[in-house]
Structure 1
Amino acid sequence: MSTLKRALAILDLFSLDTPVLTAEDIISRLAYSAPTGYRYIRDLSDLGYLLRMTGGGYKLGPRIIELDHLIIDGDPVLGVARPIMREVVDQVGGDVLLSVIHGLRILNIHHERGPDALGIPHGRGRAHPLFRGATAKTIIAFLPRKDQRRLYDDHVEEVHASGLGDTLAAFTASLDAIRVQGFYLGVGEISSERAGIAVPVFQEDRRIFGALTVTFLATRLNTIAQDKTTALLQSAARRIESLALATRIKEQAPAP
């Protein structure tokens, strides 16, 4: 592992359960030598990625907030996605999420809220369950086969519990079925009160970028027009892909 990766691994230790860590905690969890660990902590603090608290512990620093602000205001995908997602909310109701796959983690990057109080805990920046819910199953279905195998090997028990299959062959067959269908409807998989429909969002080379998901109260399942909602989501996803690509091309074009 490179020096940069070893230093940045410190940031991965922070979570909602462990928002504050002492230097000793960090060094112990990563099995770094004391001189190396303290050097990394000092460097990350100097750059603003860590902030030392009065009690001696460390939390994530203001530089991360600044970078998040730059992403929100400068990301071409978010720039075109936000108004399109708002249109979906206005037409369907419910909440609409845009989620991405990063490595083998699924993160929500934007959340447009609808009229109902859904209490969704997976807002912007939250990691999503890997094998439960419409978002995760849609994204995983469109991953390359090697990544699907890696997910299965690393999370066998979770895959079995999710109902996606008790063997690798059954797991990939379940994902292939979702892929052929082109969307996934999940009911009560993350919360018994909610249902969701998700469709894939692709990059320009047709690699999976993430998923666009509308989440609504499960009690609306019999009244919502599922086919119409799915078609609306698919149209919104294609518009996001097209406009994001056009924006990138425009930004990369040489000045006249």
Structure 2
Amino acid sequence: MNTPLPQETDEEAGPDTENVESTSSQRVGPFAKLLSVLDLFSAERTSVNIDEAIAFLGVGKSTGYKHLKDMCDSGLLVQRGKGEYALGPRIIELERLLQVSDPFLIAGKAAMVVAEELCENRALMLCTLYQNRVLCVHSVGPESIRYGKEYMRIYRARGTALPLFKGAGSHAILAHLLPHQIRSLYLSNASEIAMAGLGSEWKDFRSALARVRKAGFATSVGQINPNMLSISVPVFFDERVHGSLLLLTTNSSEEKAMVDQLAGQLTRIAGRIEQLMAEGSLV
């Protein structure tokens, strides 16, 4: 697989604080602000009350009620009891459309179906970049991985969002973003980057990403469960990083000795995904 590397030009001088606008400072239009109500929902928060939504939108009650009614009329939300709102049936319809039309997902499924042997006591995931998060779009393998007498549960099903600065699946993407994207991310998230162990200064962060690019893959050990080892390679499309292929396995001496071999297998699968997307014959 040919791995295009982002140009390092002008990075030595550090991020340009005058010319790079952070995500938080970008202007948000009224339509985008309305749709951002969907950001209030999560696995821990499956319904939102009217007062929370109005406060989030920063509008008056009458305007807030109208906005939520419009979202209910479109099917994006549905009212559940007095003043409570949940995700609506239109979301289900859109998810189905993604399942049958997303080239990345379709190519990933086709390439990953042959990885049965690789997924023996390992889990394989396809991830993509979404804003400042990494989203799992497909997974194969067991729901838990056995390590001695312990069974480690895999919480990376489709739709699971992962932090951009933590974990191999995220680092494999992050390291191959365009230089201006990396600079912008650093300016907006320097403290979070330092907390993730990627460097307390710009030059340290740049060096950490360069090491991932040079190796061709990223690795990490689970912070919650140190017995979990992650290995990930980037997936490219149209000469830009489109996502990553992530393998979760045990942090055993046997698996650590096979990291290079496993990364090579992942690279071949990623190459097949890239080939299928380029051919465009699956959609």
SS at match of 2:242: strand
Instruction: Report the Cα offset of residue 86 of structure 1.
Output: 3.0
Rate the CA distance shift 1:222–1:16 in 2: closer, same or farther, 3 A. closer
Contact 1:53–1:59 (Cα < 8 Å) also in 2: yes
Distance in 2 (alpha carbons) for counterparts of 1:221 and 1:13: 43
Distance in 2 (alpha carbons) for counterparts of 1:118 and 1:98: 19
In structure 1, list runs of 5 or more residues that go unmatched. 252-256
Distance in 2 (alpha carbons) for counterparts of 1:112 and 1:92: 7
Query: More deviation in 78-87 or 214-223?
Result: 214-223
Percent of paired sites with the same residue: 31
Distance in 1 (alpha carbons) for counterparts of 2:224 and 2:177: 21
- Alignment counterpart, residue 137 of structure 2, candidates 99, 105, 109: 109
1:225 and 2:236 matched: no
SS at match of 1:91: coil
Q: How does 1:1-256 map to 2 (within 5 A)?
A: 1-93=28-120, 94-114=122-142, 116=145, 118-189=152-223, 191-204=225-238, 206-219=239-252, 221-222=254-255, 225-247=258-280
Rate the CA distance shift 1:226–1:193 in 2: closer, same or farther, 3 A. same
Distance in 2 (alpha carbons) for counterparts of 1:169 and 1:35: 50
Deviations 1:52-79 (A, max 9, x none): 0024300111111121122123322222
- Which residue number in structure 1 is paired with residue 24 of structure 2? none
In the alignment of these two chains, the number of paired residues is 249
Contact 1:132–1:190 (Cα < 8 Å) also in 2: no
Distance in 1 (alpha carbons) for counterparts of 2:35 and 2:43: 18
Distance in 1 (alpha carbons) for counterparts of 2:240 and 2:55: 38
Rate the CA distance shift 1:199–1:222 in 2: closer, same or farther, 3 A. closer
Query: More deviation in 174-183 or 73-82?
Result: 73-82
Instruction: Report the Cα offset of residue 169 of structure 1.
Output: 1.5
Distance in 2 (alpha carbons) for counterparts of 1:222 and 1:237: 20
SS at match of 1:138: helix
Q: Which has the higher helix share?
A: 1
Instruction: Report the Cα offset of residue 193 of structure 1.
Output: 2.2
Distance in 1 (alpha carbons) for counterparts of 2:66 and 2:212: 47
SS at match of 2:115: helix
Rate the CA distance shift 1:183–1:41 in 2: closer, same or farther, 3 A. same
Distance in 2 (alpha carbons) for counterparts of 1:18 and 1:245: 39
In structure 2, list runs of 5 or more residues that go unmatched. 1-27, 146-150
So what's the TM-score if we normalise by structure 1? 0.89
Query: More deviation in 195-204 or 65-74?
Result: 65-74
Distance in 1 (alpha carbons) for counterparts of 2:81 and 2:133: 33
Rate the CA distance shift 1:100–1:223 in 2: closer, same or farther, 3 A. closer
Distance in 1 (alpha carbons) for counterparts of 2:37 and 2:196: 31
Instruction: Report the Cα offset of residue 221 of structure 1.
Output: 4.5
Deviations 1:189-243 (A, max 9, x none): 4531211110000112x11101001111212654762222111110110110111
Contact 1:88–1:233 (Cα < 8 Å) also in 2: no
Q: CA RMSD in A?
A: 2.0
- Of structures 1 and 2, the one with the larger relative CO (CA 8 A, separation 6+) is 2
AA of the residue aligned to 1:42:
K
Instruction: Report the Cα offset of residue 137 of structure 1.
Output: 0.9
Distance in 1 (alpha carbons) for counterparts of 2:116 and 2:171: 22
Query: More deviation in 189-198 or 113-122?
Result: 113-122
